[in-house]
Amino acid sequence: MKTRTLALVLVCVACLIAACNSTSGPATVDGATEFAEAAEARLLDSWIKRERAAWVQSNFITDDTEAMAAEASKETIAATMELAAEATRFDDLDLPPDVRRKLGKLKTSLSLVAPRDEAKQAELAEIATAMESRYGKGKYCKTEDDCLDLTALTRILAESRDADELLEVWQGWRTISPPMRDQYTRFAELANAGARDLGFDDLGQLWRSGYDMPPDDFAAEVDRLWEQVRPLYEALHCHVRARLAEVYGAERVPQDQPIPAHLLGNMWSQSWGNVYDLAGPGKSDPGYDLTALLRAKGVDSREMVRFGERFFMSLGFDALPETFWARSLFDKPQDREVVCHASAWDVDYIDDLRIKMCIDITAEDFVTVHHELGHNYYQRAYNQQPPLYRDSANDGFHEGIGDTVALSITPEYLVKVGLLDRLPAEGGDLGLLMRMALDKVAFLPFGLLVDQWRWKVFAGEIGPADYNAGWWELREKYQGVRAPVTRDETLFDPGAKYHIPANTPYTRYFLAHILQFQFHRSLCEAAGFEGPLHQCSIYGNEEAGKKLIQMLEMGSSRPWPEALEALTGQDKMDATAILDYFAPLVAWLEEQNQGRTCGW
């Protein structure tokens, strides 16, 4: 999912030398303090204007709204880097930590930077807007009159068990991205030039520098976390591959090779929950189908969101503002093109909270609603911080909060809120854990590799002539997933994933999948829960809520290890909570995989 925060500012290096040369007088500590305050006020005004234009462009995709959004980005461009350039006057001073942190955020919180040439600034803004809009308007057309959008294609991949139909749909969606290939090449060139003007080797290094540690240390930290969870993923992969072979045949799913990407129930094979009926423990059915429960109760899109709001309110959070309900998008309009990818917005950086989502009445979207509201409640919690601190401790925190709450969507919770009449019979836990693992554990390597690809592209390790080959090499290495048909370099499969054309950093989602279990374990301890971690729900527990709110209110005012420690008592990210949560499933998978060929 995507959240619009200050980390998504588009910035350039225009007037870099002029700004520095035009500043007169000696640099002082008091001057740096005054500068930081003035910069925040100016940036806040610019961000709000940019967010309003971006909201309109995402909800009314036309040539005009694209031009409006690009223009707003260009205005933010000039303001942001003019300030970043002037801030370099204070680099050699012994500044108070708070001021030093704010000035650092002028540079390291950016996800996209443009070079100093004014024409190139405009070119980059136009390319970025055009790629996102192309994705939003994307359709697979069998004929001129028979077109399917991503929502329809996603449903087919989730529900069909016809391998030929799945392959057609999988290939069909990837017809939208080849036109982005040259655009992305130019995009990377321009963005890298901007990053170098700010003192970074490339855009990937800039991204990795935003985690309160040296960029190489952060890359090593990501590798450490992956190694903690890799054995669990490989056990799940082994089991799922064996079950898919039973359905589609060993010729389509060889037992010593990566799994064909179109057979895993998801357009990007990033989560596998839709093949639960094929891979789940036969004798451990969860005892309910949340999608069926929601539809049987007549729950509509707005009520889906109300469920999420009531969960947060049960923890002690306030109700969402009335403007949220008036201004959000919950349903796909029939009269215009919109970007349906779910996102959470804080348009005025105070309380103009919104979500934009084409909600389907499914268990998957029920969880997604909680995820997006996690962004909104985080945004409101830190709205009293200075503008440069109105962000999460790190971007993985922002993505992890809503998912932490969603871990409490247990059978006990569903009974309490009236969606389930009674608790399922004992013995269904294994099924629930498998369903959760197919979403959460299966996602981990994908969450890692998207930015691994981009970091290599930005660093020049993967050139334009090898975009697709490099993409599939990483997917096979980390996921054990392969393209079902030959994918040559006329194609651009990375662009068929929203976050590539939208330039949204993706490691945040990997971190979020680690952090949510670490958060959940600590909140369950705060709630006094005793029992298996996967059975804990913090719904209605204000003690857990107080601890959560305390951390959220910190925003990014302190380094993320301090925010993590405030909630969990640990100052390092730790994936052992995932192993704790899935412990019963781990034992079951070991038993199931006896005699199977695992690995790829």
Give the H or E element holding residue 12: strand 10-12
Q: Return all residues near 130 (Cβ < 8 A) that are at least 6 apart.
A: 66, 183
Q: Where are the alpha helices (DSSP H) in 316-428?
A: 322-327, 363-381, 395-406, 411-416
* Spatial contact of 501 and 184, defined as CB atoms under 8 Å apart: yes
Q: Which of 371, 398, 513, 520 is catalytic?
A: 371
Give the H or E element holding residue 519: helix 507-526
* Per-residue pLDDT at 583: 95
For the question of residue 165 being annotated catalytic, the response is: no
Q: Which of 70, 79, 235, 342 is catalytic?
A: 342
pLDDT over 70 (residue 9): no
Cβ-based burial of 380 (10 A; exposed 0-12, middle 13-18, buried ≥19): buried
pLDDT over 80 (residue 7): no
- Sign of torsion, CA 444 447 450 451? negative
* Pairwise CA distance, residues 106 & 558, whole Å: 15
Of 461, 204, 208, give the one whose Cα is nearest residue 469.
Answer: 461
* Pairwise CA distance, residues 598 & 237, whole Å: 8
Q: Which of 40, 372, 467, 496 is catalytic?
A: 372
Per-residue pLDDT band for 198 (boundaries 50, 70, 90) equals confident
For the question of residue 262 being annotated catalytic, the response is: no
Radius of gyration for the chain, computed over Cα atoms and rounded to the nearest angstrom: 24
Beta bridge partners of residue 346, listed in sequence order: 353
CATH architecture for the domain at 211-285+391-600: Orthogonal Bundle (1.10)
* Per-residue pLDDT at 66: 87
For the question of residue 237 being annotated catalytic, the response is: no
Q: Which of 84, 261, 399, 478 is catalytic?
A: 399
Q: Which of 237, 375, 398, 534 is catalytic?
A: 375
* Per-residue pLDDT at 5: 38
For the question of residue 276 being annotated catalytic, the response is: no
Per-residue pLDDT band for 109 (boundaries 50, 70, 90) equals low
Averaged pLDDT for residues 355-369: 93
pLDDT over 60 (residue 211): yes
For the question of residue 371 being annotated catalytic, the response is: yes
| pLDDT tens profile 293-345 | 999 999 999 999 999 999 999 999 999 999 999 999 999 998 888 888 899 99
The number of beta carbons lying within 10 Å of the beta carbon of residue 423 is 14
For the question of residue 509 being annotated catalytic, the response is: yes
Per-residue pLDDT band for 191 (boundaries 50, 70, 90) equals very high
Cα end-to-end span (Å), the chain: 29
Q: Which of 262, 398, 499, 520 is catalytic?
A: 499
Q: Which of 341, 370, 520, 534 is catalytic?
A: 341
Averaged pLDDT for residues 514-535: 96
* Spatial contact of 430 and 281, defined as CB atoms under 8 Å apart: yes
For the question of residue 506 being annotated catalytic, the response is: no
* Pairing assessment for the beta strands 343-346 and 2-3 based on DSSP bridges: parallel
pLDDT over 60 (residue 190): yes
Phi-psi category of residue 313: left, alpha or beta, with phi > 0 → left and psi -120 to 50 → alpha: alpha
* Per-residue pLDDT at 242: 97
Q: Which of 135, 233, 377, 509 is catalytic?
A: 509
What are the sequence ranges of the domains in the chain?
2-135+180-202, 211-285+391-600
Tokens, residue 439: 């979403």
C-alpha angle 561/566/569, rounded to 5°? Answer: 80
Mean pLDDT computed over every residue of the chain: 91
Per-residue pLDDT band for 1 (boundaries 50, 70, 90) equals very low
* Spatial contact of 76 and 166, defined as CB atoms under 8 Å apart: no
For the question of residue 341 being annotated catalytic, the response is: yes
pLDDT over 80 (residue 355): yes
- Helix, strand, coil distribution of the chain in percent, nearest 5: 60, 5, 35
| pLDDT tens profile 51-68 | 999 999 999 998 899 889
